[in-house]
Every structure is written in C-alpha cells, then in structure tokens.
Amino acid sequence: MKHEIKLFVNDIPYNITVNSQDTLLYALRDILHLTGTKKGCGEGECGACTVIMDGEAVRSCLILAVEADGKKIITIEGVSANGKLSRVQRAFVEAGAIQCGFCTPGFVMAIEAALRKKKTKKEELIKAVSGHLCRCTGYENIIKAIDKIVRG
Amino acid sequence: MDSVGKSFVRKDAASKATGAALFTADLKFPEMLFAATIRSPKPHIKILGIDDAKAREVMGVVGIYYAKDIPGENVVPLVFMDYPFLAEKEAKFQGQPIGLVVARDINTARKAVRLVKIKYRELRTVFDPLDAMKKTAPKIYGRDNIFKKFIVKKGNTKSAKPDVEVEDVFTTNYQVHAYLETQSMVAVPQPDGGVNVYGSMQCPFYVQDAVKKILGVPYNKVKIVQQTTGGAFGGKEDVPSIVAGHAAVLAAKTGKPVKLIYTREEDFQAMSKRHPGWAKIKYGAKKNGKIVSCEVKYILDGGAFSTLSPIVLWRGTVHAAGPYEIPNVYIETYAVATNKVPCGAYRGFGQPQIAFANESLIDILAEKLGMNPLEIRRINAIKKGGRTETGHKITGSIGLDKTINLAVKSAGWNRKWKHPSSKSGSRRYGIGMATSIYGVGLGAGGKHLAKSGSFVQVEPDGSVLVAVGNTEMGQGARTVLSQIAAEALGAPYEMVDLMATDTSRVPDSGPTVASRTTVMSGNSILNACKSIRKRIDDTVRKMLKAKGRVIAKDGFYHIGGKKVSYANAIARAWADRIHLTAAGWFRVEGTTYNEKNGQGDAYFTYTYSTMVAEVEVDVETGEVSILNFVSAHDIGKAINPKLAEGQIQGGGLQGIGYGTCENLVLENGKILNPNFTGYIVPTAVDAPPIKPIIVEEKYKGGPFGAKGLGEPPLICAAPAVANAIYNATGKRIKSLPIIPEKLVC
C-alpha cells in the first residue's frame, strides 16, 4: 500500500510516497538520495544507520517510513553545515578513529544526539555508542575521539 | 625525511566523516536493476529441476538466470578450478548459489527468490574434516576429499633425543570477517559488449579474471573500479569474484546496470570465513629449555570448494613450528573438503589457528621444564643468522628479541608473572604472552603474483596523481603510498593523492593481501618516481646552473647552497615540455623454496611480533576481562606511525574476539547464528586498552625500510589471552573461542 508522508530532513521538508514496509533508512537513502546513512545489517544490530529523529538517536532500519511521518530528522549530511566538519567529525578525523569509514556516520550521529541532549561526560558518550560496531579500529581511537570531544 | 615516518591524517578521513565517501551501495545509474541470489536449501543435493513459474509472474521481475545462461565459463578462477559460479547439477553446501533473479527493485527480487522451488534429492554429507578423510566418507572433492597436502622436513625428528616431550591437540572455530559493509557490486554494460564493474573488493584483478571468464570476453572489455570499501580483512579477496561475476552476467543479459548487494544474513551464510583448524603438535626439548624437535599434523576444514584453501594451508604450514629455531622439524598438513560454506582468506591466513597450538604448547613445555614462559621464548626465539623451519637463514631485519623485551617491559611481566598455583579467590589475575613470525607478502606460495604496477603523473601545478593495483580498504594504503610518492618526488605530501584502483589504469598487480601493499606498491611507486625525479633533477640543475646531486627537502630542491622551490621546478619542467609521467613496475625475484621437502627461502622477509595479555577471570562465571594488552611488532619502518598503531589496535581486538567471544554455531552444515545478535563481535564497552609498540629493524628491500603489518596484529592475540587465562586459573583450554562455559565446566 502506498502512503503520502512528510519528512523534515535536515530542515528541508519533503513530501514522498512510500510503501507500508519501507523503512526510514530506505526513504532516506533510496528516495531522498541521502546516502551518508549506511546500512550494515538492516536488523538494528550494528548502528551504522543511526539518525536523529525528534532529538533521539534511532536506528533508521528499524523505523518504518510511515512512522516517521511529520518527524524532524537529522542525518549525517545535516551535521556538517557548509562543508565544515562538526566538532564530533573533527575529533574522529584527528584522533584516527576512522579506517574503512562505513560505521563512522552512525557513531557520529549517536554522539551528536547525546551532545544535543546535554550528555557531555565521557561515560555518557561511550554508552551512546556501546551498541555500535566498528570492526577496524579496536575502538581505541574512537575513545580518544570521545576524549577530545569531552575536553572541547 | 619530510613525508615518511610522519603521522599525517588519512586522506579519506574527512569524506568518510561526512558520509560523502561513495560506497558501492551509494551508486546509482539510470535504469539500474536489482539482483538477488537463489541458493541451495540443503548442504548436499542433486538438483532434479527448478520450478520458477510463480516467481516469473511477479510484477517487476525482469529475468531469472541459471548456469545454462552463462555466456562464458561457469567456473570461478582461483587456485583450482572447482567452484562453479552457479551450481548446475549438484550443490555441495547450504547457501551455494544456483540462480539469480533480477528485478526493478530489490524487494521484488527477494520476493521472487522465495517463490522459486528447487526440486532435489539429498545426498550423503560429511561435516567434520577428520571424518571426511576416512575412506568411507562421501566424496566432496576428488578421490579423498583432500584439496592439498604439504610437508616440511628439516633435520630428523626421530634422532633428536629430547629430555622432555609435550604433545597435545588444539582446535579452533570459524571466524567471520564481520566487515560492516556486506558484499556489494554494480555491473554496468558497455555499448561495445564490455562491462564496467564498480564494487567493494580487495583484489580488482581477481574480479577482472572472474568477469572475463564468466562473460567470455577479452580483458580489455572488462574494467573494474574499486569503490570505497567498508572493511575486508580477507573476506573481500576471493568472494567478490563470485558476486561480480553474477552481477556481470545479469548486466550482459538485461543490457542494464545491475546492483547486487548481500543482506547481512546472506553474507554470514554464504561468504568465506576463517577455516576451523585441528592441530596435533609435539615439542621435544633439552633440560636447559632448548627445543630440539617439533612435529605437527595440521588440518584445515576447507568447506565444499577449494577457493584459497591450498595457499591458506601453505602459509600455515611454513609457520607451523612457531618463531623458534628448531633443528628437527616434521610438519604434515591437509586442507580437506566438507559440506559446508567454503572457507577462504582471513587476516592471518592459516597462521592464527596454528599459532594458538604452538604458543599454547610452548607454555605447557615451559611449565614441564619449571621455566617461565618468557624464559623459554628467549632461549628459542629465532635470532640473526638463525634458520626458520624451512631452513631460511635470516640475515637481517630481525627484531623478535626486541619485540619480546619491549612488550614484557611495558606490561611489567617480571613483577606480575606468578605461577597459577599461587592464585586464589573468585576473581583471579593472570598474565600471558605469545610470539609470532610472519612471512611478508605471498612468498613462494604465490610467486606468480609477486609483481606490482603503478602510474605516477606530476601535473603542471605540482599536484601528483598516483595509481596502483593494490587497494585502500580501510587500512590506510591511500595515505601511506601517497607519503612514499611524496618522499620520492620531493613533493609536499598534501599535493599527492592516490586514485581509486582501476584495472584500466595499471596492469595486474596481484592481490591486496598478505600485508604486501606497502612493500609491493611502495616499491613500484619508487620505481616510477625514480625516472620522474631524474628528469626533475635535470631541470633543477639547469635552473640553478649547478652540477651534482639534487637533494629534496622542505619543499625545495637543493644543490649545495642553491635552491629552487618544488612548484617552480615543476612549472619549469612543464614549460620545457619534460615528460613528468611514468609507469612503475616491481617484481620479487624467485624464492628457493622446494615443495617436495618444504625447505628453502619461503618469503623475502618477515615481521616479528610479541603480545602480552593481562586478564582477570571470574572462576565462578567463567567471565574473562582483558585488563591490558601490549602488542609489539618489528615492521622495518613505520611510514605513518599513527596508521600503523591503528592496524595494531584493530587487528588486536579482532584477535581477542577470535580468542574469547566470536563463536559461529553450525548444525548439519547450517549456520545457526547468522547475525550480530548471535555472533558476538567486541564492542566499545568490551574493548581493552591495546598498547602498540613499533620496532624498526629496517628491511633493505622495502620502501624506506618498511616490511608489512596488516595481518600480524591478529595472529598471536588469541594464544596470548589463552595463556593469560591459564596463568589466572590453571585451566588449559585447548579450543577456541574460550567462552565462559569452557572455563566453568
């Protein structure tokens, strides 16, 4: 069944048509062509598809597009305004927290969401990414990036 | 040096942080179709027929294709030619590809796959490699189910006369690569009958071979372009050939671009893994701790097709005695066929399984001799002038002793190591160590591939375009190779960049595996830069009206006290119409290894490693916490120390996961936990601090002294943890992974 929905993505309103079973991830990547959000598992296990929806970090592969109707979404494309890295992105780049980079947008969005909720302690930020998988770095430099963010 | 040895930020870091980097799934082409794979429902079947009438009726299905539709040859070109792209009459593992559906969208393609009914008769199965070697076993491969056998014979183990002998059997389970990006390919048909393939891969030239074969077209009609690749670890060495072959056939059949991306479950079920290993190993030593003999029988469970098993086995074979100088060695190894998913390359390539065996057994030997595990390793560690198990005399770049000394010093071994009998209480501390030797590159096992091409072009503004045949898959090749080119040309690092690997730009350079990229592509780039530098240097001499050697430093070319800037020299050379482009080539001369007795030089050089793990074990629950992990490696020269440390940390955690929690469960050939809920990989919460230590014993054949590093950080991590667990508990667990259940039973 087709549904007309409205999404506010990175402050831009979109009217799109989706099927009942389409996920928010599908709507973002395949309908709106915002491919910075990644699909690692499609089952909510890896965190690569994390976006911010109405202020909460969510796994966009577990949210149906119709559930997101009328919601305010921020994707990885929305955090680096005018091509300038956000402080979370800058910390990841400088700390060497990026190798293959497939998990990076999800980690960045989880931390962005936590910071926007005024969670700024190291433990809180580590908790925010505790369900995110990275297979390349051993997390050591991701923790270092978090240290940089905490220090400001 | 201006560029080498500096910890520059990765060239691709910013585009990955913003999500701008293009992975294969992000690509879109006009009229693109989507594909899904029809797979064998059982581990061993005779295919009697296929009913796909219902699937063909689904709105949006464009076509369904089988083995008979393949225009070229139905065989994946790897070591042996036994693996068909699509099964025709018989399928030998659950999940083996049988057919392909192509549709206007991915959900339709997957729905159609579910509607295809395969009519089959189940055939006899065998799942255990030791059973598969028995005469009565059903035949999966050849007459004896043995893909390959190797022997190493050095001295005579029968006349070794040891005072003490220890012998045991050690087993290891599968390991899943769990790269975050699943297998992904897009094939785009070309108007002249060729095809371009864009995809996630380590080895574009393997993919080119495969696409050429399945389509039956010449190489110059097949162009492979690697996309940003979301992790590989060996899992994108051989299997992308299959995925690309499938996508290419569909593109050829439909005349449209076709995208083929695996689901996570499909990737778990059907992609290669680390081979389960079985090893019986015996060390004999004198009372003073000197090991005088080593006997090994080592078996790898290859799964249903040979894929890379013969060369995985070879690497395991020529490292099976450990990093020790032992005068008498006998090693016998087998890669065996079973009705399970074919195993292939995984970081370490046959070494982690046998390293668990020899590094556990040497601790058992130390205890029997009343020695400390550190002491026995110091006595036996291979030293300058020593000979490996294949009789290779090591004459230079050998830092094993240094890695041992620095790792134990960092961990405080002498203060902390106490015999297990002294431990008590429910939470017990333990410390353990392990060492390894690692032959860099493909060695004698892959000598026909030991070549590497490059292309370097200095543009009029001084920016430099570099192309190589090896790939960036997250390890940092783009950055490290740019540093090598910058150093060789005297160019500022920021002005040099590497192109995406494209088979139409450089010739077949072998695979991106075996920690070979820095040495092979690095040397090839040096070769290209040398001829360009010669022409730049001539220009510099003309500009400075001086003779003699040109030194590049700080963005200037210097002769004596005179200098000219890099930018001005390049501008002048272009104004003079000097050719500032070169193709580079590097090949490794033959090794002396003889397969009959397993003796001779197996590799051109080796990386040496020592790891120390500190653990706390809850003896009531079996829970293991890694408190600290030190990982020291002699890599010749770190071109980019920060990226080298990243390899050590990432590989270390993969090795710790292999040793403690990553547990794939199969029942009758079916994987029961094909997802991240059931197959546990370490998270940020589990990750221990990993302290990297880099030792630089320069290798004169490497670029600026470099050897290789990708694989060694994983190899002896699991045995270091296993030895620490023994040190804490007095329990010697002889099978990986060491999950809590094994410690409390």
- Say what the pLDDT of residue B447 is: 84
Q: What does B605-673 look like in DSSP terms, one character per residue?
A: -EEEEEEEEEEEEETTT--EEEEEEEEEEE-S--SSHHHHHHHHHHHHHHHHHHHHT----EETTEES-
Three-state DSSP state, B406: helix
Q: Count other Cβ atoms within 10 Å, centred on residue B478.
A: 21
Question: How far separated are the first and last CA of chain A, in Å rounded?
Answer: 48
- Say what the pLDDT of residue B527 is: 98
What is the extent of the structural domain holding A39? 2-76
- Say what the pLDDT of residue B307 is: 96
Mean pLDDT, chain B, whole residue set:
97
Q: Count other Cβ atoms within 10 Å, centred on residue B89.
A: 10
Residue A36 in any domain: the answer is yes
The CA-atom distances, in angstroms, between B415 and each of B117, B138, B372, B692, B719 are 66, 55, 12, 20, 21
Give ranges for CATH 3.90.1170.50 in chain B.
31-123+183-261
CA-based nearest residue to B324, from B154, B519, B513, B159: B154
CA-based nearest residue to B203, from B520, B586, B464: B520
Round to whole Å and give the CA distance between A19 and A142: 37
- Phi and psi angles of residue B672, each rounded to the nearest 5 degrees, phi first: -90, -20
- Say what the pLDDT of residue A81 is: 76
Three-state DSSP state, B487: helix
CA-based nearest residue to B277, from B349, B330, B341: B349
- Say what the pLDDT of residue B69 is: 98
In angstroms, what separates the C-alpha of B234 from chain A's closest C-alpha?
13
Element spanning B220, H or E? none
Q: Are residues A113 and A56 in the same domain?
A: no
- SS3 for chain A is CEEEEEEEECCEEEEEEEECCCEHHHHHHHHCCCCCCCCCCCCCCCCCCEEEECCEEEECCCCEHHHHCCCEEECHHHCCHHHCCCHHHHHHHHHCCCCCCCCHHHHHHHHHHHHHCCCCCHHHHHHHCCCCCCCCCCCHHHHHHHHHHHHC
- Say what the pLDDT of residue B603 is: 95
- Cα-based torsion angle of the residue sequence B717, B718, B723, B725 in order, rounded to the nearest 10 degrees: 120
8 A C-beta contact, residue B659 and residue B721: yes
Chain centroid to CA B741: how far? 30
Task: Please indicate whether, in this complex, the C-beta atoms of A131 and B683 are within 8 angstroms of each other.
Answer: yes
The CA-atom distances, in angstroms, between B230 and each of B329, B434, B477 are 41, 30, 14
Confidence of residue B589 (pLDDT cuts 50, 70, 90): confident
The beta-carbon neighbor of B675 closest among A43, A98, A100 is A43
In angstroms, what separates the C-alpha of A70 from chain B's closest C-alpha?
24
| Three-point CA angle A152, B5, B11, nearest 5° | 55
Residue ending a domain, choose from A76, A109, A130:
A76
- Say what the pLDDT of residue B231 is: 98
- Say what the pLDDT of residue B448 is: 85
- Say what the pLDDT of residue A152 is: 84
Task: Please indicate whether, in this complex, the C-beta atoms of B681 and A133 are within 8 angstroms of each other.
Answer: yes
8 A C-beta contact, residue A27 and residue A16: yes
Average the pLDDT over B464-470 and give the result. 97
Question: What is the per-residue burial (b if ≥16 Cβ within 10 Å, else e) of B203-236?
Answer: bbbbbbbbbbbbbebeeeebbbbbbbbbbbbbbb
Confidence of residue B453 (pLDDT cuts 50, 70, 90): very high
8 A C-beta contact, residue B647 and residue B694: no
List of chain A residues whose C-beta atoms are within 8 Å of the C-beta of residue B645: 96
Three-state DSSP state, B288: coil
CA-based nearest residue to B354, from B283, B302, B296: B296
CA-based nearest residue to A78, from A148, A149, A5, A10: A10
Residue A111 in any domain: the answer is yes
Round to whole Å and give the CA distance between B614 and B618: 14
CA-based nearest residue to B173, from B274, B284, B68: B274
Q: Are residues A49 and A24 in the same domain?
A: yes
Positions of chain A with pLDDT lower than 70, given as ranges: none
The beta-carbon neighbor of B18 closest among A36, A100, A131 is A36
The interaxial angle of helices B351-369 and B309-318, nearest 10 deg, is: 20
List of chain B residues whose C-beta atoms are within 8 Å of the C-beta of residue A143: 684, 687
- SS3 for B25-62 is HHCCCCCCEEEEEEECCCCCEEEEEEECHHHHHCCCEE
CATH of B13-17+451-587, one of 3.40.50.920, 3.40.190.80, 3.30.365.10, 3.40.80.10: 3.30.365.10
pLDDT of B86 > 90? The answer is yes
CA-based nearest residue to B93, from B172, B39, B35: B39
User: Topology of B277-444+594-744 in CATH?
Assistant: Aldehyde Oxidoreductase; domain 4 (3.30.365)
Three-state DSSP state, B281: strand
B678 touches chain A (CB under 8 A): no
B59 touches chain A (CB under 8 A): no
List of chain A residues whose C-beta atoms are within 8 Å of the C-beta of residue B28: 33
8 A C-beta contact, residue B311 and residue B445: yes
Task: Please indicate whether, in this complex, the C-beta atoms of A101 and B16 are within 8 angstroms of each other.
Answer: yes
Write the single-letter amino acid at A32: L
- Say what the pLDDT of residue B216 is: 98
List of chain B residues whose C-beta atoms are within 8 Å of the C-beta of residue A45: 264, 675-677
Task: Please indicate whether, in this complex, the C-beta atoms of A136 and B231 are within 8 angstroms of each other.
Answer: yes
Share of chain B above pLDDT 90, in %: 98
pLDDT of B445 > 90? The answer is no
Each residue's pLDDT tens digit, B347-394 = 999 999 999 999 999 999 999 999 999 999 999 999 999 999 999 999
The beta-carbon neighbor of B180 closest among A98, A102, A126 is A102
- Say what the pLDDT of residue B649 is: 98
Q: How many domains, chain A? A: 2
CATH number of B31-123+183-261: 3.90.1170.50
Give the sheet arrangement for strand B464-468, strand by strand: B496-498, B464-468, B451-458, B581-587
CA-based nearest residue to B653, from B688, B607, B702: B688
B691, closest residue in chain A (CA to CA): A140
Give the sheet arrangement for strand B427-439, strand by strand: B427-439, B606-618, B624-634, B690-695
Q: Are residues A68 and A132 in the same domain?
A: no
The CA-atom distances, in angstroms, between B354 and each of B313, B447, B712, B736, B739 are 10, 23, 13, 11, 19
Tell me whether residue B75 is exposed, middle or buried, using C-beta atoms within 10 angstroms of its C-beta: 0 to 12, 13 to 18, 19 or more. Answer: middle
The two structure tokens encoding residue B468:
């190589």
Residue A81 in any domain: the answer is no
pLDDT of B151 > 80? The answer is yes
- DSSP 8-class letter at B684: T
List of chain A residues whose C-beta atoms are within 8 Å of the C-beta of residue B683: 130-133, 139
8 A C-beta contact, residue B288 and residue B129: no
Each residue's pLDDT tens digit, B520-559 = 999 999 999 999 999 999 999 999 999 999 999 999 999 9
Q: Are residues A18 and A52 in the same domain?
A: yes
Q: Are residues A53 and A108 in the same domain?
A: no
* CATH number of the domain that residue A25 is part of: 3.10.20.30
Task: Please indicate whether, in this complex, the C-beta atoms of A102 and B689 are within 8 angstroms of each other.
Answer: no
Chain B, residues 461-480, CB within 8 A of chain A, namely 473-476
- Say what the pLDDT of residue B745 is: 73
Round to whole Å and give the CA distance between B447 and B510: 10
- Say what the pLDDT of residue A82 is: 79
Round to whole Å and give the CA distance between A149 and A91: 6
Q: Are residues A93 and A71 in the same domain?
A: no
Each residue's pLDDT tens digit, B501-512 = 999 999 999 999
B267, closest residue in chain A (CA to CA): A41
Residue ending a domain, choose from A76, A101, A126:
A76
Write the single-letter amino acid at B715: I
Round to whole Å and give the CA distance between B567 and B492: 10
Residue ending a domain, choose from A48, A76, A104:
A76
List of chain A residues whose C-beta atoms are within 8 Å of the C-beta of residue B651: 138
Q: Are residues A31 and A67 in the same domain?
A: yes
Give ranges for CATH 3.30.365.10 in chain B.
13-17+451-587, 277-444+594-744
List of chain A residues whose C-beta atoms are within 8 Å of the C-beta of residue B9: 93-94, 96
